[in-house]
Structure 1
Amino acid sequence: MMDENPSRFPSADLASSATSVHRCRSLSHLVAVTVLYCNQMEERVEMLNRWTEVAEEAKSALGNLLGFSSIMHALGSPHIQRLKETMHAWRQRFTDKAFQFEARLRPTLDQMEEGRSQEAPNTTVPYLLPLCYLADGWEAQDALLYWERGYAEAGLPLLYRHLSAARDTAANTERYARNAKVQLGDMRFEDIPLDMFRTQFHLKFLWGSSGATADARERHTKFQQILSALSRRCEPDDT
């Protein structure tokens, strides 16, 4: 029998919009670190390809659009995309996966952030990150929210599409629950491995116990600097 206690599931701590944002950002940082911390180019290429496979699995097989977006935000970040030699080696060694990343996965993420994507019937975790940012007041001092940057059609039409998508999501919660039960089947979760998927573990793993309770914006800003340093260590800037 499947464990019916919701606290046993990896997504159980997504109870609030703030926690959802923390989870997605922390997962993106974790993915980026696993790539940038590899000392050898061959290791980075392998890790980059493995995360591309995980992103595809999350989107297509599991219907986890929130997890898919977190991984893609990391793989598409400037810290990784600036690694020209690594990206070139990846395209040479794993041509099919690199093509899939550019031709299918990135356009899918763009459509999600433009509010134009169509959910697959097997969706288990919808893409609600834009609504979470709005509900929690993240980046309220910025002129544009994160998904509006780089899009010519930023403003009320884009906001309206995301709010409409949120209404559709609210109407389809039972379908998401049914899909999740099908995916989980009779799977049981053990406490220790399950901790690796909790938001609090990600926060403490990346920032330590004291840093995990610091101001979120300051915490993420400083971590961006760490990622930049790791990226330059992998491939120094051209001089």
Structure 2
Amino acid sequence: EITRLRDTWLILRRNHTSSAFQFDTKLKSAYKSLMDGSGLLPLQNVSIPDIAPLVFLLERDESSLTDYLPWELSDQNSGLDILLIHLDTARLITAQCGLYKVTAENVMKTVKFEDLISDVFQTEFHLRILWGAKGATVERTERQKKYEQLLAVLSNRAEAPEDDGTAV
């Protein structure tokens, strides 16, 4: 839903050219290499490591076994190799947990907290705001479906679905 917003991306690229260049040249390629298991996991200056591949693996159940994972879409023949790389990366992350904790504590020393907005960073707040009072008790697939609907509504509000990206 976010990548579909052509006008928004064009405006962002025009107004923030250097950031867009960094995003296109460095961040996209780094993310892709981490997802396909070819990138190295940095250990220095990282307080929250990339655990998205592990989360994808842990969220799989019987109903999602036929759905391809992001790295399986790019190369279906090396899926098992990439799976093993992600499991090994998860092992490295747990082994280096202390290092990530120290880095995070050093970063958090410079952060100033405001009591008024501290709730925004709580999981319970997001469950209530996105899925209501029953948010934690609803099945994961139901929560994901509602989240996708919310993204679709916000995306359609930003740019109409029939917009061909020439309105900028």
TM-score range, shorter chain: 0.7 to 0.9
Alignment of 1:47-126 (within 5 A): 79-118=1-40, 119-126=42-49
Q: In 1, distance between residues paired with 2:153 and 2:113? A: 37
Instruction: Please report how far the alpha carbon of residue 189 of structure 1 lies from its aligned counterpart in structure 2 after TM superposition.
Output: 5.4
Instruction: Please report how far the alpha carbon of residue 230 of structure 1 lies from its aligned counterpart in structure 2 after TM superposition.
Output: 2.6
Q: In 2, distance between residues paired with 1:162 and 1:170? A: 12
Q: In 2, distance between residues paired with 1:81 and 1:129? A: 19
Instruction: Please report how far the alpha carbon of residue 131 of structure 1 lies from its aligned counterpart in structure 2 after TM superposition.
Output: 2.2
Q: Match for residue 52 of structure 1?
A: none
Of stretches 148-157 and 88-97 in structure 1, the one that deviates more from structure 2 is 148-157
Assess, with a 3 A threshold, how the Cα gap between structure 1 residues 129 and 218 changes in structure 2: closer, same or farther: same
Q: Give the structure with higher Rg (CA).
A: 2
Instruction: Please report how far the alpha carbon of residue 192 of structure 1 lies from its aligned counterpart in structure 2 after TM superposition.
Output: 5.1
User: What is the identity, as a one-letter code, of the residue corresponding to 2:45?
Assistant: N
How many residues were matched structurally? 160
Q: Match for residue 169 of structure 1?
A: 93
Assess, with a 3 A threshold, how the Cα gap between structure 1 residues 187 and 104 changes in structure 2: closer, same or farther: closer
| Contact in 2 for aligned 1:139/1:145 (Cα 8 Å) | no
| Contact in 2 for aligned 1:111/1:117 (Cα 8 Å) | yes
User: What is the identity, as a one-letter code, of the residue corresponding to 2:38?
Assistant: R
1:221 pairs with one of 145, 149, 155:
145
Q: Does residue 147 in structure 1 map to residue 147 in structure 2?
A: no
Q: In 1, distance between residues paired with 2:11 and 2:109? A: 39
Instruction: Please report how far the alpha carbon of residue 225 of structure 1 lies from its aligned counterpart in structure 2 after TM superposition.
Output: 2.2
Higher relative contact order (CA 8 A, sep 6+): 2
Assess, with a 3 A threshold, how the Cα gap between structure 1 residues 173 and 148 changes in structure 2: closer, same or farther: same
User: What is the identity, as a one-letter code, of the residue corresponding to 1:124?
Assistant: S
Structure 2 unpaired stretches of 5+: 164-168
Question: Runs of at least 4 residues of structure 1 off by over 6 A?
Answer: none
Q: Does residue 184 in structure 1 map to residue 108 in structure 2?
A: yes
| Contact in 1 for aligned 2:54/2:90 (Cα 8 Å) | yes
Instruction: Please report how far the alpha carbon of residue 159 of structure 1 lies from its aligned counterpart in structure 2 after TM superposition.
Output: 0.2
Richer in helix (by share):
1
Q: Secondary structure of the equivalent of 1:111?
A: helix
User: What is the identity, as a one-letter code, of the residue corresponding to 2:100?
Assistant: Y
Instruction: Please report how far the alpha carbon of residue 145 of structure 1 lies from its aligned counterpart in structure 2 after TM superposition.
Output: 4.8
